[in-house]
């Protein structure tokens, strides 16, 4: 390092050093990842409760017809002639599938390096801000 470099360039990645040395830092990164996972599933659950239930309510007549005489053509026309409930149901199914694929990838392959670094940077910022950060009590506070 030369003397003419600014101070922030000399220490631009302190979380990289911490992630190798501090075991509590790794636990805090895992806590933040788990918190994000819970947040995604909470969002999907709220989406199903609000948008999904109203979409299914909007499709109640085609569903009752399908219970009597199920055909794929009836499914297609039921969805085609009720575009708003179809859009809401598609949104719920799409978000659920997205979270399932994201979580499955993280379980089977592990976190991508870029996402791991982003989580480490977020934990570093939470640590720097201290108790005034809204996530500090869930990530850094030990009780």
pLDDT confidence tier of residue 19, bands split at 50, 70 and 90: low
Average pLDDT over residues 117-126: 94
Q: What is the DSSP letter of 81?
A: T
The pLDDT, as a whole number, for residue 23 is: 86
pLDDT, residue 115, reads 93
Are 88 and 54 a contacting pair, CB within 8 Å?
yes
Computed over every residue of the chain, the mean pLDDT equals: 87
Is the pTM higher than 0.95? The answer reads: no
pLDDT for res 9? 41
The region of weakest confidence among 19-28, 36-45, 110-119 is: 19-28
Distance CA 93, CA 55 (A): 12
Q: Is pLDDT at 11 greater than 90 in this prediction?
A: no
């Amino acid at each position: 390092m030369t003397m003419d470099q600014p101070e922030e360039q000399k220490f631009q990645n302190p979380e990289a050093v911490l992630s190798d040395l501090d075991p509590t830092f790794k636990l805090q990164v895992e806590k933040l990842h788990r918190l994000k996972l819970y947040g995604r599933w909470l969002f999907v659950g709220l989406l199903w409760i609000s948008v999904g239930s109203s979409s299914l309510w909007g499709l109640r007549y085609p569903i009752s017809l399908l219970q009597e005489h199920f055909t794929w053509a009836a499914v297609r026309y039921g969805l085609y002639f009720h575009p708003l409930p179809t859009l809401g149901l598609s949104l719920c199914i799409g978000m659920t599938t997205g979270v399932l694929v994201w979580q499955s990838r993280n379980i089977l392959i592990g976190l991508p390096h870029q996402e791991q670094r982003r989580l480490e940077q977020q934990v570093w910022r939470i640590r720097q801000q201290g108790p005034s950060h809204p996530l500090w009590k869930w990530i850094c506070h030990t009780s």
